[in-house]
Each structure stands twice: as structure tokens, then as C-alpha cells.
Structure 1
């Protein structure tokens, strides 16, 4: 048995708090002597910790009293654990959303070298609308095999290597958009983008083109994917088209030269 002072010290609450809980009918001592000394049993101690746990989760003392009244003693701790587990899950979800928002902000800065509130707001709204709508969009336009490939595309709320590569490429695209498509910097970027797309889309050129056209914004419309506004996509199209044309030209020239050598 615990005297009121001992229980207060162990639970790190005041004696006044324990007396208040007694007045409310939340936690009554098992024994009150004729001289007024209060003694609490081990079971009372468990009840106190349940009260403190539920109070920490935001429940009022009146709500806690109702819970303790409604549930038999053997169920009280189980009920408390249930509420605590639910609270942890909700906090975990909140922290995950916060982590996603912070990661988006970092990636937005990486892409544009500055954080624009409007861009971030639009992206977060899209992310919250998010997974279900994205899955519905992909289900309407892509086969199950194609959807499996698209599931591996980079997401700006993550920090995996694919996303890091994509944010770097977008930043460099923005840095060189003023240059002509055939400039050395533009062609270096085009080579990287082609290789990156080939890896992401597993060499499926048809799917690459199909996806690219579906995410292209209409004239005057905002980007459907962060960083891929109409101007940016036009520049990427131009440098990639030039790169592919030059690659094919060089391959044809090499084949012609090889054939001429073999015929000599």
C-alpha cells in the first residue's frame, strides 16, 4: 500500500492533484483511516497511470471518469493502451506529412534555387490529393505493366537517389534554358536526360513518350508535375530531339564508313 505522499512522489504528481482526483471520483484511495490517512493499493496505482496517460493524450478529466466507469477494471489498461496507440499513429502520420513537406521544400530549393510559396502550396495540395488520384489517373491511361514501371518514378517528397538526380537535372535545365539546343551544355544535359529516362522507363520508349505527353500542360496552364512547366518541357524536347538526331546521324555515318571499309 502507498500513502498519498509516497504515491505522489512515485507518479510525479502533487498531493493536491491526488486529492482533487478523489473529489472528482476519479481515484479514491482503497483505505482511509479514522485519522484521515489515505492509502492506495497497487491497483489504484495502475488506475492513476491510466488517468495520467489519457490526460496526456488530451482527454478531459470528465471524459476519463466516464471511460473508467464504463470499462471494468481489467479492461482499463487495455483501453488506455488502445487510445495511446491510436494517438501514436496519428502523430506518426502528422510527422510524416511534416517530413514530406520539408523534403518538398528542400527539393524545390534544389530545383529553382529559391523557395516560392505558391509553388510549394500547389505541390502540397497535389500531394495531399495525391496517391489515390494519381493511381486513378494511371489506371485510366496505362496498362498494369506500364503502371508497375511508373511506380518507380521519383517523388519530390522523398530523398532517394532517383529524386536527387531528377532535382539536379531540373536545376541544370533551368540554368541552361537560355542556351541553344546544340550548345555543349545543352547536349550534355540531353545525354543525361535520355540515359535517365531510359533507366526509369526500363527502355520502353513508347511509354516514355506517352507519359511525357500526358503530363504536358496546356498553353497557359500551370505545370502538372513540379518543375515541368510548358517552357521547361519545350526546352527539354528541343535538346533531346537534337541529341537523338545527332546520335542517329553519327551512327549512320559510322555504319557507312564501316561498309565502305569492308568493300575495299
Structure 2
């Protein structure tokens, strides 16, 4: 037999918890002396191990009490019922955590791009995350081929832990900070190189697909951005610096071909 202190030491379960188990009827001692001391046998030790295992599985004390008190013939059906209930609860919690992770990743992206967090941004992303997948799929199938959709699906996902997302956020932030720089300036041309090379890599060097995608996400005048951060003014700036870069690169290439020794 074990005293409550000995049982606590053996199982590393606090004495207060063992007393509570007694009070709620989950684990009664084998014997209570006239002095009030509780004594437990190996049978109670076995039951305590059972209780600990069930708690690890997520069972409530009420469910554990009912399961332990059930007739052997009923235990299988009770096990199935409780396990189904716990699995459903875990699935719901898992889905919630996945949504929370996506929202936190997206918020991190916003901070990287803007240097601040505004409640309106978070609200917009919550709405975006709740948009049915069918709606997004319908948009893609209307505008792109199966091969193009495969490439687009491989683009950085703002709600995932993809380092490319942070890279893009830094590029867009830099573009927004230099909107009034002339296209010919050194910083504009450095940005132009990034906006040419990096998206081309992501689009598998498919220039036509990149141009089609860019045109589809371009908002009309006074229209809200279709892709976060890509408002009309920012996209116009990016277009201007890229155009200047390509035109001058082509001129330099032509001049180089015309030179003779």
C-alpha cells in the first residue's frame, strides 16, 4: 500500500491533484484510515496510469470518470465515441492554428513592406484567407492555361513562410520609397534589375506569362490594388524604371555591336 505522499512521489503527480481526483470520484483510495490518511494499492496505481494516459489524449475528467465506470461491454463503444470527439476537436484546433499561422505570416509580410501595421490591412487579409478556393480557381482558369496556372501556383504565398515573400516585400517597399526618383537614377536602375530578374526566375523565364499576369493585377485609375501593395502608382513607377533600363540596355548593346577596333 502507498500513502498519498508515496503515490505522489512515485507518479510525480501532486498531492493536491490526487486529493482532487478523490473529491470528484475519479480515483478513490483503497482505504481511508480513521485518522483520515489515504492509502492506495497497486490497483489504484494502475488506474492512475490509465487516467494520466487519457488526460494526455485530451480526455476531460468527466469523460475519464464515465469511461472507467462503464461496464466492460460498453467500454469499446465509449472509447470510439470519445476518440471521435477528441479527433474532431483536434482537427478544429489544427485548422484554427493553421489559419492563425497564415495570418501571422501575412502580417509579418505587411510589416516588412510598409514598416507598420494598420488594422485595415489585417481585416483585408482575414477576408482574403476566408475567400473560397473555388473563387480563386475560377479566376485562374478564366485567364490562364493549365501550364500557366501551375507556374502561378508556385509563386510566393504571402501567408506561408517563404523567403521569396520577404524578398518581394523589400523590393516593393524600396519602390514605394523612391516613387519620385527619375527612372535614370542609380537607385531606380538597381531596382529595375531586381524587378526584371527576380520575377522572371519565378515565372520560369516565361516573359509573355509575366506580362499577362502583370496586366491582370494592374488596377484601373482610382481602383484598389488587386495584389497587396501593388497600387497603380507603384506599378507605374516599376514600369517606368524597367522600360528605361531595357531601352538603354538595348542601346548599349547596339552601340557595342557598331564599334570596330
2:19 aligned residue (10, 16, 19): 16
Task: Report the equivalent of 2:119.
Answer: 117
Distance 1:108 1:217 in 2: 19
Aligned length: 252
The Cα offsets for residues 76-126 of structure 1, whole Å up to 9 and x where unpaired, read as 778777766665555554444444333322321221222222123212321
Task: Assess, with a 3 A threshold, how the Cα gap between structure 1 residues 70 and 13 changes in structure 2: closer, same or farther.
Answer: farther
1:244 aligned residue (218, 238, 246): 246
Check whether the contact 1:53–1:80 (CA below 8 A) recurs between aligned residues: no
The Cα offsets for residues 43-85 of structure 1, whole Å up to 9 and x where unpaired, read as 422342256446xx484x4454445538855787787777666
Q: Does 1:134 align with 2:140?
A: no
Task: Assess, with a 3 A threshold, how the Cα gap between structure 1 residues 2 and 220 changes in structure 2: closer, same or farther.
Answer: farther
Task: Assess, with a 3 A threshold, how the Cα gap between structure 1 residues 249 and 157 changes in structure 2: closer, same or farther.
Answer: same
Provide the aligned C-alpha RMSD in A. 3.6
Task: Report the equivalent of 2:179.
Answer: 177
Single out whichever of 81-90 and 103-112 deviates more from structure 2: 81-90
Per-residue deviation at 1:151?
Answer: 2.0
2:51 aligned residue (48, 52, 57): 48
Distance 2:3 2:81 in 1: 27
Task: Report the equivalent of 1:190.
Answer: 192
Secondary structure of residue in 2 paired with 1:129? coil
Distance 2:15 2:108 in 1: 43
Check whether the contact 2:51–2:64 (CA below 8 A) recurs between aligned residues: no
Secondary structure of residue in 1 paired with 2:174? helix
User: Counterparts in 2 of 1:1-264, with a 5 A limit?
Assistant: 6-8=6-8, 10=11, 11-14=13-16, 15-22=18-25, 26-28=26-28, 31-32=30-31, 39-40=40-41, 41=43, 42-50=45-53, 52-53=55-56, 57=58, 59=60, 61-68=61-68, 69=70, 72-73=74-75, 90-129=92-131, 133-255=135-257, 257=258, 261=260
Give unpaired runs (5+ residues) of structure 2.
none
Task: Assess, with a 3 A threshold, how the Cα gap between structure 1 residues 48 and 158 changes in structure 2: closer, same or farther.
Answer: closer
Per-residue deviation at 1:201?
Answer: 0.7
The Cα offsets for residues 123-177 of structure 1, whole Å up to 9 and x where unpaired, read as 2321343755434432332222112211221222334332232111101101110
Name the TM-score, length of structure 2 as normaliser. 0.76
Distance 1:206 1:142 in 2: 12
